[in-house]
Amino acid sequence: MRRSLPVLFSLSLVLAGCKAKELVDRASISKDLQKRGTTDLMQQIAKDQYTAPSDGRLTDAQIQMYLKVREHEKKIAQVAKAEMQQHAQKADKSKNTLAGVMQGMQALGSAADFVTADLRAAKDLGYNTQEYVWVKGQVLGASTAAMAEKFNASISQAADKAYADAKKAYDEAKDEQTKKLYADVLAGYDKSRQEMLRQTEQDPAIAYNRQLLSKYENALNAFANELAKYEDKPGEAAEAMKKVEQAGKQ
C-alpha cells in the first residue's frame, strides 16, 4: 500500500495538470472568440486562395492537416456551444427586456462561432482555409461513400433473401398466371440490383481518397466526428456509426 501511494499521488498530479491545461485552453479560446468575431474571421478567410487538383485526390499531408484541424475544432466548438447555451438561458430569463435582447444577440454570435469552428481552427493552425475546405469536402465524400456501401450491403442482403423466396415460389407455381406474377417480381428485383450496382460504382478519386484515409482511421469516423459537434452526450455519433457498420456485416 505504501509503495502505491507515490504512484497514486503522481497520477493525481498528472490528472490535475491535464484539467488545469484544459481550463487554460478553454479560457484562451473564449478570449479569442470575444476578440475575433465571426465577421473578422471571414475577412481573414477571404484572403486565402487555393486551386484544387484536377484529379480530386488527397495527399497524406492534407489528411494530416484535416485531422489536426478537426482535433482543434472540437475544443473551439465545445466552448462556443457552452457559451451559446449560457446566453440562451440568460436571454430566456430576461425575455422582453433590453438585457434579454442583448443576450439573444450574443447567443446568435456564439452560434456563428460554433458553425465556423473548423475554419477558425484551420486559421489558428496556420493552414490555408480554402485548401482545408476542399480537403474536408473530399474526406466527407469518402466517408459518405463508405456509409452508403454499408447501407447497400444491408439492403442487398435483404434483397437477396427476398429474391430467393420469389424464385422458390416461381419454381413451385402450378399455373401460368402465378408464374407470370412471380416472373414480374423477379424482373423487378433484377432491375433494382442493376441500379444498385451502378450506384456503388465509385469515382476513382473517391476510391483513392478512401484508401488513403484508411491509413489513418476508419472512413466512417470522419462523418461521425462531424456529427459529434451536435451531440448532447459524448459518444452518441460514434455509437450510431457502429450500428451502421454492424448492420452492413449482418
Which residues in 173-192 are b (16+ Cβ under 10 Å) and which e? eeeeeeeeebeebeeebeee
Q: Per-residue pLDDT tens, the chain, 250 aa: give them.
A: 455 545 444 445 444 454 555 556 778 888 888 888 888 899 999 999 999 999 999 999 999 999 999 999 989 988 888 888 887 888 777 776 767 767 777 777 778 888 899 999 999 999 999 999 999 999 999 888 877 777 666 666 777 777 787 788 878 878 888 878 878 887 877 777 677 666 556 688 998 999 999 888 877 777 777 777 776 666 665 666 566 555 555 5
User: Residue 242 and residue 248: Cα distance in Å, rounded?
Assistant: 10
Q: What is the pLDDT of residue 29?
A: 87
Which pLDDT does position 16 carry in this prediction? 47
Separation between Cα atoms, residue 76 and residue 25, nearest integer Å = 9
Residue 87: the pLDDT is: 77
Read off the amino acid at residue 226: E
Residue 42's identity, in one-letter code, is: M
Say how far apart CA 149 and CA 186 lie, in whole Å: 23
* Confidence at residue 209, expressed as pLDDT on a 0 to 100 scale: 92
Which residues lie below 8 Å from residue 247, measured CB to CB, with a gap of 6+?
A: 150, 151, 154
pLDDT at 24: 61
The DSSP 8-state label assigned to residue 126 in this structure reads T
Torsion sign over Cα 148, 153, 157, 160: positive
Please report where in the chains the cell 495527399 appears, as a residue.
Answer: 59
pLDDT of residue 234: 66
Give the pLDDT of residue 49: 95
Cell triple for residue 89?
A: 438561458
Cell of 142: 469518402
DSSP 192: H
Report the pLDDT value the prediction gives residue 15, as an integer from 0 to 100.
Answer: 45
Distance CA 1, CA 99 (A): 57
pTM, two decimals, is 0.69
